[in-house]
Structure 1
Amino acid sequence: MSDAVELPELALDLWRFAARERTTVRVAPDGCRDLIVVVPRVGAPVSFVSALAGTTETPGFAAGDRAVGVRLRPGAQVDEGALVALLRGGERSDDGDLSSAIGAVVTLDARVREALDCLREAPALATAHRRLGVSERSLERLLSQRTQRGPLFWRNLARARRCARALAGAAPLAHLAAEHGYADQAHMTRDLRRWFGAAPTRLREMPDFLATLAAPAYA
């Protein structure tokens, strides 16, 4: 993160990337959308808002490409057209420009924030409904309308990210499966492969990737 600019309340993190050689980057689903400005070595800069990812992605970069991004809070809604216009398509990309743009065109419904916070910790959807004091249908409607994902997506993503981070330790896989609410080790393996593109044993051989799961995000 930059020390020069205090991020707006609806931003979680400021990140930068520079490709020294042609490469791909493994990006785990984190429940967030990012405002990204890519400055290619050749060509004009471009700004965009990333989609809410449902699986691990591997964007490619050419040598000399640079990117800067601001990770928005889970559930944040963005007026993408206004945001790109404020940044002039990517020409304005210093820390102050990004922060000002977010403050102007990014919002977060308080009900959505409360629901996502609850789902992040709830062991089951029924627990979340009870704690929030809403019906299953009401919660489904709210999140589907505001985030384009239902409660099960958010609950499962939080569980998978917590479990994947725990792979950095030495606990047996069967223990991790039980600890994180999976039916068994096979269930955990299927779920982590779905979200992160690799089985738990393979993920344990990818410490750099697992370390990225500690960055500010959803769960």
Structure 2
Amino acid sequence: MYVERVSRLGGAVVWTNTPCPASGAGRVLPDGCMDLLWHDGRLLVAGPDTRAHRTDGDDGAWAGVRFFPGTAPTFLGLPAYEVRDRRVELADLWPDARVRRLTARVEAAADPARGLEEAALALAADADPPDPLLLRVVTTLDAGRPVAATADELGLGVRQLHRRALTAFGYGPKTLARVLRLQRALTLARGGLPLAETAVQAGYADQPHLARDVRDLTGATPGELLGGG
């Protein structure tokens, strides 16, 4: 069973996932985020996904902190593109002593999710604040603005925006815009809006465009993702 709550770290979400006997395989959909994970006594980093990440459903309980898009590289001290489409042991990214300290913090907490949140708060306190310009990239693209217009509004060239996006988000602004549009569409559709209207409001040309993009990013049809098949 998947459960999430708003974190005390701004923009972040704390979550747990305990598989049910009949849960089976699942999909983690692209959302522009990175996560700090706890599984089987180990710390891992989930990089930004360009396609759905398939889960087995039988590998035990997980806990995580999902960071707001563009913030995790600042807190974790690594560019997002290094872990794009990957789940990586934190021990492969950080010095052993630092990983042991963070592991001890999680293990000392009442539960792993609370420990991860405390660890994330400590990481954020020790790091410089995320670049506010990059946070504006998220809000501007999520409002449906084209990449070139976004770059102009932020006073950047398109190539400069692309370079900065790779570090912050793991991929370029065009991919980020597609991922954010996917999430907008799923939110609208899960709220009961018909798919034809969802496509228009989310920024697709039409419903077939929505269906193609959803399948490309997730490997499933809108109906399958919404529980209809």
TM over 0.5, yes or no?
A: yes
Match of 2:100 among 70, 85, 98: 85
Match of 1:181 among 194, 203, 213: 203
Q: Is structure 2 residue 70 aligned with structure 1 residue 70?
A: no
The Cα RMSD (Å) is: 2.8
The sequence identity of aligned pairs, in percent, is: 26
Q: Which residue identity does 2:100 align to in structure 1? A: A
CA distance in 2 between counterparts of 1:88 and 1:177 reads 44
1:75-111 CA-partner distances (Å, limit 9, x unpaired): 1211442663333386456355323322343552222
Q: Which residue identity does 1:124 align to in structure 2? A: P
Q: Is structure 2 residue 34 aligned with structure 1 residue 33?
A: yes
Match of 1:105 among 105, 110, 123: 123
More helix, by proportion? 2
CA distance in 1 between counterparts of 2:209 and 2:179 reads 14
- Give the CA deviation at 1:196: 2.3
The answer for unaligned runs of 5 or more in structure 1 is 40-44, 208-219
**Structure 1 contact 164–192 (Cα < 8 Å) conserved:** no
Number of residue pairs matched? 197
1:192-214 CA-partner distances (Å, limit 9, x unpaired): 1112221223334359xxxxxxx
Q: Which residue identity does 1:87 align to in structure 2? A: L
Q: Which residue identity does 2:25 align to in structure 1? A: T
Give TM-score, length-normalised by structure 1.
0.75
The answer for unaligned runs of 5 or more in structure 2 is 78-89
Call closer, same or farther: CA 1:119–1:85 in 2, change over 3 Å.
farther
**Structure 2 contact 34–47 (Cα < 8 Å) conserved:** yes
CA distance in 2 between counterparts of 1:92 and 1:54 reads 34
CA distance in 2 between counterparts of 1:128 and 1:35 reads 29
**Structure 1 contact 167–203 (Cα < 8 Å) conserved:** no
Give TM-score, length-normalised by structure 2.
0.72
- Give the CA deviation at 1:156: 1.1
